[in-house]
Structure 1
Amino acid sequence: MLSRAATAIPDPATHGSDQIHAVATLTAAAHTAGQVATVLLIVTIAVGFYLLTCLVWPFGKCRRCKGVGKFKSPFGNAFRHCGKCDGSGLRVRLGRHLINHMRAVRGAGQNSTSKGGK
């Protein structure tokens, strides 16, 4: 007795193989589009959270003096003020610069004298 496989292997030259390939391509594209949408959603949430924290805490530590506002002299116990933060120990965060810029642009657009009709 000859036994045959339960499923036949389709011949690559058959007409149905093009349809199977197209379905596989569309399925892969759908997975890729879903992954891109998920990554974009995560990035959008992260940027929104960062901008929210910049609204609440607009200042960070000065990077040069590490938030102390002064440097110790190499000789003795004298101190001098940090030149970058002028001795405050603070710097404006990058996200706060962006928020301030967006507010300035929006304010300039609302205060414009070229609004038309007059």
Structure 2
Amino acid sequence: MLSRAATATLTAATHGSDGSDTVATLTAAAHTAGQVATVLLIVTAAVTFYLFTCLIWPFGKCRRCKGVGKFKSPFGNAFRHCGKCEGSGLRVRLGRHVINHMRAVRGAGQNSTSKGDKR
């Protein structure tokens, strides 16, 4: 008796009166999945492009001194070096920090002595 009630409910839920609701729902889900895939593809391409540019140009302008590396005294012509970039005018970009971290983790895994230890 329990299986007959479950079957009747399942049949009523899957075989509607006209079936157009099911088709509309599946079409909407397909459009949503396609949009999500497109957005993920665009984000992946943008992140890949940014990391590639960080490989080529790892430094950006210092945000405090705007790339000059020094500050002018308010009175006179004296200069002092920027404390953040220590006078270089450069900073390491966020993407380059990520690349350096990935390289360090990979290098630590390759240099592990536990894998190659044969005693």
TM-score band, normalised by the shorter chain?
A: 0.7 to 0.9
Report deviation, 1:117. 5.8
Residue 69 of structure 2 aligns with an amino acid whose one-letter code is G
Q: Deviations over 1:53-89 (max 9, x none)?
A: 0000000000000000000001111000000000000
Q: Where in structure 1 are there 5+ consecutive unaligned residues?
A: 1-14
- TM-score, normalising length: structure 2: 0.84
Please list every run of at least 4 consecutive aligned residues from structure 1 whose deviation after the TM superposition is greater than 2 angstroms: none
Q: State the match for 2:67 in structure 1.
A: 67
**Amino acid in structure 2 at the alignment position of 1:81:** H
Unaligned runs of 5+ in 2: 1-15
Matched pairs, number? 104
Structure with more helix by fraction: 2
- Report the counterpart of residue 25 of structure 1 in structure 2: 25
Which residue pairs with 1:35 in the alignment?
35
Identity, % of aligned pairs? Answer: 86
- RMSD (Å), alpha carbons: 1.4
